[in-house]
Amino acid sequence: MVTLHLVVLALVQGITEFLPISSSGHLALVPMLTDWPDQGLKIDVAVHVGTLGAVLLYFWRDVWLMICGLAQLVTGRFGPGARLIAHLIVATIPVVIAGVLLKDIIETQFRTLEVIAWATLGFGLLLGLADHVGMTVRRIDHMRFGDALFLGLLQALALIPGTSRSGITMTGARLLGYERPDAAHFSMLMSIPTIIAAGVLIGIDLYRLNDWAVTEEALTAAGLALVSALIAIAALMTWLRYAGFLAFVVYRVLLGLFLLGIVYGVYAV
């Protein structure tokens, strides 16, 4: 693979995975707008591992709390760590079911520039609306199982390229009244089991192709994705302490309109 191609894919995945602008949509746009060949399953696995490493590192205290929570569940206790991991399990079930049942449809019928364009625009506007009308009175400590299930159902919509997993879950959390940093915090914690599940599905396909060799390209992609994702997470969490989601909404609207212009022949690229 050409070095530039590898670097672009890793940086796009790392930066967009946790920002509310859709990593799957941006990754799908790379070959569409550059005519580069598909990067292959090995690189897909590598960049997912990189972004997973970033969120585990940034939220290592929550990860440790959840590990302790597993021990609490085994002993019949239900402390903060046990509640957190239970909420994440509930929030992950819908996307796992939808991913298994709709995998072929998503990879064929939904992976089009038109779908990405409308999803980018429509769900971007929904994020702006939710951020405008949503109250800012709730924290992660106030999470209920009904909230986790609602966010999980919304997360399943992110299987549509352009929706944004982080964007739709932050939208839902804002509608439920969670403060902006807490909406982003729980959304990123939700990514841990989701990325693991996605990695397992991709890994199964990779196993069937008998292409498990670890190469320098894969290691480079994972490293670049990890560093860029870590920077993106830190930047977003800092940003949301002082500002809202308007900048991301504007970006999505402009990108969506640009892509629709390509789809409907207003201009060519």
Question: What is the spatial distance between Cα 187 and Cα 192, in angstroms, rounded to a whole number?
Answer: 9
Question: What is the spatial distance between Cα 24 and Cα 31, in angstroms, rounded to a whole number?
Answer: 12
Q: Which amino acid is at 94?
A: P
Show me where the domains of the chain are located.
3-263
Per-residue pLDDT of the chain (269 residues; tens, 9 = 90+): 577 888 888 899 899 989 999 887 787 778 777 878 767 667 777 888 899 999 999 999 999 999 988 888 777 778 888 999 999 999 999 988 988 888 777 767 777 889 999 999 999 999 999 999 998 889 998 899 999 999 999 999 988 889 999 999 999 999 999 999 999 999 999 999 888 877 777 667 667 766 665 677 778 888 999 999 999 999 999 999 999 999 999 999 999 998 899 888 876 66
Question: What is the spatial distance between Cα 135 and Cα 174, in angstroms, rounded to a whole number?
Answer: 7
In what helix (H) or strand (E) does residue 42 lie, and over which residues does it extend? helix 41-58
Question: What is the spatial distance between Cα 220 and Cα 201, in angstroms, rounded to a whole number?
Answer: 22
- 188 and 155 in contact (C-beta within 8 Å)? no
Based on C-alpha coordinates, what's the Rg of the chain?
A: 18
